[in-house]
Chain A
Amino acid sequence: MNYKDAGLRESEYISLKETLGREPNDLELRIMGVMWSEHCSYKSTRPLLKKLPKEGKYVVLGPGENAGIIDGGAGVGIAFKVESHNHPSAVAPYQGAATGVGGIIRDIIALGARPVASLDGLFFGSINSAVHDGVVKGVGGYGNCIGVPTIGGKTYYDPTYEGNPLVNAMNIGTVKVDKIVSSQTAKSGQAVVILGSKTGRDGIAGAAFASTELKDNTKESRPSIQIGDPFVEKLLTEACLEMRDAGLFVSMQDMGAAGILSSSSEVAAKSGVGMTIDFDKVPLRAEGMEPWEIALSESQERMLLIVEDAKMPEVFRIAEKWGLDATEIGRTEEGDHYRIYWKGKIAADVPATTIGSDCPVIPWPAERPDLESRWNKHVKIDAPEDAGKALLELLSDSNLHCKEDIYVQYDSMVQTNTIVGPGSPVCAFRVTESGRICAVSMEADPWGCELDPERATANLVARSCRVLSVAGAVPAGLTNCLNFPSPEKPQHFWVLSHSVEGMAAACKELDCPVVSGNVSLYNETSVTAILPTPLLGVVGMVEAPAILKSGCWNEGDLIFLAGINTPTLAASVYQRHFGHDFAGRPLPFDAQKEKAFNSGALAVAQAQTADSARPVIGGGLITAIAKEAIDAGIGAVLDAKDYTVEEFFGEGATVAVYAVPADKAAAFRACWDNVPVEQIGTVGGDCLKLGDTVLATIAELNKAFRS
C-alpha cells in the first residue's frame, strides 16, 4: 500500500519511517493515515488552540481529557463539550445527527459523569429539506430514547450550508469531583476491556472521511456512516455509572473516531504505558473482518475500560446485569510499544506516543482576504416604509422565526431538572447533587465572522457572556466547535486563525476560559464553502437567588433599555433579509464596556429588581421587545421617539431590554454603575405601540413569529 492511499502526506510518511526505523507495513500505514488525519490529530490547529486561555476560578479540569469540567458547587463538577458531526449528517442526516448526539454523550460518560442535558447547534441551507427533517428527527430519536433532555440550542439558515449542513452536539454531565474518571491513569499489567456493542463494518475510517471536502457523489461515503442504537447507549450509561460507583475503573475512554485504535492508543500514550491488543478477542458482528477494519471501525456504543484483574469479575457481573458484552481484549505493559496481534502474530507495532501525539503540525500558509471591499460595500435595502410591517416580515425570517417545530420533537424535560427549556436566550437546569442552577448559552454569528472574523468572534464571546449575565449567571467556562472550510486554502486559514485570535482575546478579557472543544475543517462541497462558523457553548453558574427569565412581562411594568444602543446593520438579519446580502464591518470588541454591562446585569438579577429581561441580539431592539411581548402575551407602549433604522433593527450593541415593576425602578437604576439606563416604554395592552402609532397587535406578532 502507498502512503498516499492511506491518507498520509510525504513528510508524515518520512517522519513515521524514521520513528520506526523501517518501512511501515500496510496495517501501520492505514492506522497512521487515520490517526494523523485532521479529525484525530488537530495538526492544522494545534498551535492556534494553544492561544486560548484555559485557567479560571471555576475550572476543575481544562482541555486534554474527553471534556472540560467546571465547579458546580458542593463538590460537584459540571462536564461539558460540543462536537461536530457535519459530514456524516450531510450523507445520512438521521444517523449522522443521532450518532453525533450519542458520540458526545459518551465523551461525558468517559469522565464518569452522568449526562444531564444536551444542546444542538444546527446550520442548514433551507427549512424544507430532507436533510433538515432527518437531522431533527435524528437528534430527537437518540436523545429522547436515551433520556437526556435537549434543553436548548440554536438553528441558523444560510445557502452556504446547502450540501454541507452543520450538526454540533453539546452535552453536559455532572460528576462528584472525587469520582472523576481519567483516560490518563492506566498502569502496566492491567486488563484492557471493551464494553458494549460488538464491532462491525459500520463507520470504517469516518475520521478520514471528516478530514476532506465532501464529494459530489456522497453515496461513495456511505461505508463511513455509523449506525446508532440509543437503547444500548442507555444501558451502557447505567452500566458505566454503576461500575464507577463500585470503583472498578483505573481509566476509561469512549470509542469515537477511529474506534478501538484511537481509544486504546490514546490511553496508552497519555498514561505512559505500552499496550497489546489481540484482535482475535474482539467480539465482531460481521464475518471476515480485516485487522484494519477492526482497528478503525466506528461501531457505536462501545467504551474502553482499564481494569485491575481483581475487579474483573465485578465488571462482568454488572455488564451482564445490563445485558452488555464485556471482553478483555488486551493488556497494558511496561514501555511504549503499542502492538496489535492478529491470528497469533504481531500485525502492527508502533510507539503509542507516535500514534497519539507525535503527528507533525502543518503550518498552512495564510493570506488575508480582501475584507475592505466588503466593509465598504453598500447593500441596498428595500424594506417597507412602515416599521411595523418590517418587524412582522422580519419575525417570519427563518433565522428569527420561532423554532418550536424543531424543539417540540425533543424531550426537553426528562430528568426533571429543566428550569428554562428551549425557546429562550439561555437555557437552565438544576444540578441535582448540589441544588445549584446552571445556565447555558449557545451562540454563533457566521455572517459577522465572514466580514471580520476577529471582531465577530470576540463579540460572540461577549454576547455569550452577556446573555448569561442578564440571566444572573456568571460565565464559568466555554466549549467551542470551530466549523470552517478547508485550511489548505490560504484565505480560509487566515480567517480561521483570526477567528481564534478574537476568541482568545475576548475569553481572556472576560474571564471565560476554554475548557473543551472540537475542530471541524473541510466543510465545503465542489459548489461552495461554508461561512466561517465558530459555535460557542458557555456554561454559567447562577449566583443570584433565582434565574432572571425572559418573556415574563407584567401589566404596568416599566420597560428599560440598559446599555448604549449604537448598533450596526452590518451582517444583521435586517440587512440580510431586506438587502439579500451582507456587508459592512462588525463593531469592535470593547472589553471595558462588556465588563461594566455584565456587572450591572448580574446586580439586577442579584437584587431581583426586574420581572423579565432579554438581551438584544438578532433583529435588534424592536425584535427583542416584540419577542418579550409574544412570550408574555401582553403588549407595550414605547415612548414616542424617532428611532433610526439602526437603533430599531441594528445588532451588536451591548444592550438588553428589562421589564421592571414601577416600585423597583429606583433600585433597578441603582444596579447600573456607569452604564446608561433609559426608560423607553410601559408594558400593557394588546398592541405594540410607538407613541400613538400601532406597530402590530400581539395577534399579528404571534402569527408572524409562530406560523
Chain B
Amino acid sequence: MKTAVVVFPGSNCDQDALKAAGALPGTEAAAVWHKDSSLPAGIDLVILPGGFSYGDYLRSGAMAANSAIMTAVKDFAAKGGLVLGICNGFQILTESRLLPGALMSNDCQHFVCKPVTLRVERNDLPFTLDYKKNEIVTIPIAHGEGRYFIDDEGLKRLEGQGCVAFRYCDASGTISPECNPNGALNNIAGITNERGNVLGLMPHPERYSEKLLGGDDGAKFWTSVKKWLEGGRR
C-alpha cells in the first residue's frame, strides 16, 4: 500500500495523514507537492489532507482545486485510483467536482472541534471494508465549513445511489438534528462517488487512529484500504 499525501500551501494535517496511513507494516506514505504535475509511480491511494489550503481565501478548497497536482489526481481517479479527501480535502474534492455538492459554513457559525459519533452507511468501499454496516464509530471533526449541501435533485440522486458513506448520529445510531454538528443535509458526514473509489468526509480518521489519542475507530480506514489492495475486496 503506497500512499501519496498532497501538500498544498496551508495544508496542516498532511503530516498526520502521512503518520496514520504509513503506520501499518507493509505500508508507505510520502508527501507530494501541489506544484508537481504527476503522482509518483505505483501509488495506490491519494490523500487530500485537512487544513486551510491557500488560507481558505476565496472559498475553502477553491484555489487548491485548480492547482497543478489536481489534474493528475483527476486522471488517477478516472482510472479507478483511490482518492480520500479529509475535511479541507473533502472541500477540495467538491470544488474540483470529483464529488457533488458543497461544504458551507456550520449552522452554529463557528469552528467546531470535538469527537462525534458516526453511522457507517457503506462498508463495501475500499475505505470501509473493515467496518460493519451501521456500525457506530467515534471520530473527531474540526471545521468551520462542514455543512454538506446539494440541491434537491442532487440529494435524491446521492441517496438513491447509496453514495452517503457516513452520517452524524447519536450514541445509539439514531440520526437526528440534535447530533448534527454543522447542519449538514440528511446528517451527511461523508460521501463517495458512484464508482466508490473517491471518498470525502469532514471527520478526521487520522486523528483517531491510535488509542493513546482518545480512540482508534479511524484506524480501520487504513486497514480497509490495505485489505482491499491485497485482494480482499467484496
Interface residues of B in 180-213 (CB under 8 A from A): 204, 206-207, 209, 212-213
Q: A230-B52, A231-B55 are in contact. List 8 more A-B contacts (CB 8 A).
A: A147-B13, A231-B9, A231-B54, A231-B57, A235-B9, A322-B9, A421-B214, A430-B212
| Closest B residue, CB atoms, query A136 | B110
**Residues of chain A with a CB closer than 8 A to B55's CB:** 145, 229-232
| Closest A residue, CB atoms, query B144 | A144
Task: Tell whether A234 is near chain B: CB-to-CB under 8 Å.
Answer: yes
Q: Taking the nearest CB of chain B, how far is it from the CB of A132, in angstroms?
A: 13
**Residues of chain A with a CB closer than 8 A to B113's CB:** 144, 408-413
**Residues of chain A with a CB closer than 8 A to B16's CB:** 414-416
Q: Taking the nearest CB of chain A, how far is it from the CB of B183, in angstroms?
A: 15
- In the bound complex, do residue A414 and residue B213 qualify as a contact, i.e. CB atoms below 8 Å apart? no
Task: Tell whether B227 is near chain A: CB-to-CB under 8 Å.
Answer: no
Give the complex CA separation of A410 and B142 in angstroms: 8
Q: Which of A141, A144, A230, A414: most chain B Cβ within 10 A?
A: A414
Question: Per-residue 0/1 for B38-62: is the Cβ within 8 Å of any A Cβ (1 yes, 0 no)?
Answer: 0000000000001110111100000
**Residues of chain A with a CB closer than 8 A to B155's CB:** none
Give the complex CA separation of A322 and B144 in angstroms: 25
Q: Taking the nearest CB of chain B, how far is it from the CB of A470, in angstroms?
A: 20
**Residues of chain B with a CB closer than 8 A to A419's CB:** 212-213
| Closest A residue, CB atoms, query B14 | A147
12 residue pairs of the A-B complex, CB under 8 angstroms, read A140-B110, A141-B111, A144-B142, A231-B56, A235-B10, A323-B9, A411-B111, A413-B213, A413-B214, A414-B13, A416-B20, A430-B212
Asked if A411 meets B10 with Cβ closer than 8 Å, knowing A140-B111, A144-B111, A416-B206, the reply is no
Task: Tell whether A264 is near chain B: CB-to-CB under 8 Å.
Answer: no
- In the bound complex, do residue B10 and residue A234 qualify as a contact, i.e. CB atoms below 8 Å apart? yes
Task: Tell whether A682 is near chain B: CB-to-CB under 8 Å.
Answer: no
Give the complex CA separation of A412 and B142 in angstroms: 9
Q: Taking the nearest CB of chain B, how far is it from the CB of A588, in angstroms?
A: 40
| Closest A residue, CB atoms, query B52 | A145
- In the bound complex, do residue B110 and residue A418 qualify as a contact, i.e. CB atoms below 8 Å apart? no
Task: Tell whether A539 is near chain B: CB-to-CB under 8 Å.
Answer: no
Task: Tell whether B140 is near chain A: CB-to-CB under 8 Å.
Answer: yes
Give the complex CA separation of A417 and B54 in angstroms: 24
Task: Tell whether A137 is near chain B: CB-to-CB under 8 Å.
Answer: yes
**Residues of chain A with a CB closer than 8 A to B214's CB:** 413, 418, 421
Task: Tell whether A191 is near chain B: CB-to-CB under 8 Å.
Answer: no
**Residues of chain A with a CB closer than 8 A to B204's CB:** 413
Question: Per-residue 0/1 for B1-28: is the Cβ within 8 Å of any A Cβ (1 yes, 0 no)?
Answer: 0000000011011011001100000000
Question: Per-residue 0/1 for A384-413: is the Cβ within 8 Å of any B Cβ (1 yes, 0 no)?
Answer: 000000000000000000000000111111
**Residues of chain B with a CB closer than 8 A to A141's CB:** 111
- In the bound complex, do residue B52 and residue A418 qualify as a contact, i.e. CB atoms below 8 Å apart? no
Task: Tell whether A440 is near chain B: CB-to-CB under 8 Å.
Answer: no
Task: Tell whether B114 is near chain A: CB-to-CB under 8 Å.
Answer: yes
Asked if A414 meets B52 with Cβ closer than 8 Å, knowing A419-B213, A430-B212, the reply is no
Task: Tell whether A701 is near chain B: CB-to-CB under 8 Å.
Answer: no
**Residues of chain B with a CB closer than 8 A to A421's CB:** 214
Number of interface residues of B (CB under 8 A): 30
**Residues of chain A with a CB closer than 8 A to B77's CB:** none
**Residues of chain A with a CB closer than 8 A to B142's CB:** 144, 411, 413-414
- In the bound complex, do residue A146 and residue B12 qualify as a contact, i.e. CB atoms below 8 Å apart? yes
Task: Tell whether B112 is near chain A: CB-to-CB under 8 Å.
Answer: yes
- In the bound complex, do residue B10 and residue A231 qualify as a contact, i.e. CB atoms below 8 Å apart? yes
Give the complex CA separation of A230 and B114 in angstroms: 22
Q: Taking the nearest CB of chain B, how far is it from the CB of A62, in angstroms?
A: 30
**Residues of chain B with a CB closer than 8 A to A417's CB:** 213
| Closest B residue, CB atoms, query A422 | B113
**Residues of chain A with a CB closer than 8 A to B114's CB:** 408
- In the bound complex, do residue B51 and residue A147 qualify as a contact, i.e. CB atoms below 8 Å apart? yes
Question: Per-residue 0/1 for B75-116: is the Cβ within 8 Å of any A Cβ (1 yes, 0 no)?
Answer: 000000000000000000000000000000000001111100
- In the bound complex, do residue B213 and residue A416 qualify as a contact, i.e. CB atoms below 8 Å apart? yes
| Closest B residue, CB atoms, query A229 | B55
Question: Per-residue 0/1 for A461-504: is the Cβ within 8 Å of any B Cβ (1 yes, 0 no)?
Answer: 00000000000000000000000000000000000000000000
Q: Which of B12, B55, B110, B212: most chain A Cβ within 10 A?
A: B12
The contact of B52 among A231, A408, A430, by CB within 8 Å, is: A231
In the A-B complex, the 7 residue pairs with the smallest Cβ-Cβ separation, listed nearest first, are A147-B12, A231-B55, A416-B16, A145-B52, A411-B142, A411-B113, A409-B111
Q: Taking the nearest CB of chain B, how far is it from the CB of A373, in angstroms?
A: 45
Give the complex CA separation of A140 and B112 in angstroms: 10
Give the complex CA separation of A676 and B16 in angstroms: 45
**Residues of chain B with a CB closer than 8 A to A322's CB:** 9
Interface residues of A in 135-180 (CB under 8 A from B): 137, 140-141, 144-147
Q: Taking the nearest CB of chain B, how far is it from the CB of A369, in angstroms?
A: 42
Question: Per-residue 0/1 for B198-234: is the Cβ within 8 Å of any A Cβ (1 yes, 0 no)?
Answer: 0000001011010011100000000000000000000
- In the bound complex, do residue B12 and residue A234 qualify as a contact, i.e. CB atoms below 8 Å apart? yes
Give the complex CA separation of A323 and B142 in angstroms: 27
Give the complex CA separation of A145 and B9 in angstroms: 11
- In the bound complex, do residue A409 and residue B57 qualify as a contact, i.e. CB atoms below 8 Å apart? no
| Closest B residue, CB atoms, query A324 | B9
| Closest B residue, CB atoms, query A437 | B212
Q: Which of A145, A229, A410: most chain B Cβ within 10 A?
A: A145
**Residues of chain B with a CB closer than 8 A to A145's CB:** 10, 12, 52, 55-56
Q: Which of A410, A413, A414, A415: most chain B Cβ within 10 A?
A: A413
| Closest B residue, CB atoms, query A144 | B111
**Residues of chain B with a CB closer than 8 A to A144's CB:** 52, 111, 113, 142, 144
**Residues of chain A with a CB closer than 8 A to B57's CB:** 231
Q: Taking the nearest CB of chain A, how far is it from the CB of B114, in angstroms?
A: 6
The contact of A416 among B52, B54, B207, by CB within 8 Å, is: B207
Q: Taking the nearest CB of chain A, how far is it from the CB of B227, in angstroms?
A: 23
Interface residues of A in 216-245 (CB under 8 A from B): 229-232, 234-235
- In the bound complex, do residue A418 and residue B213 qualify as a contact, i.e. CB atoms below 8 Å apart? yes
| Closest A residue, CB atoms, query B7 | A238
Give the complex CA separation of A594 and B114 in angstroms: 36
Q: Taking the nearest CB of chain A, how far is it from the CB of B3, in angstroms?
A: 16
Give the complex CA separation of A144 and B12 in angstroms: 9
- In the bound complex, do residue A137 and residue B206 qualify as a contact, i.e. CB atoms below 8 Å apart? no
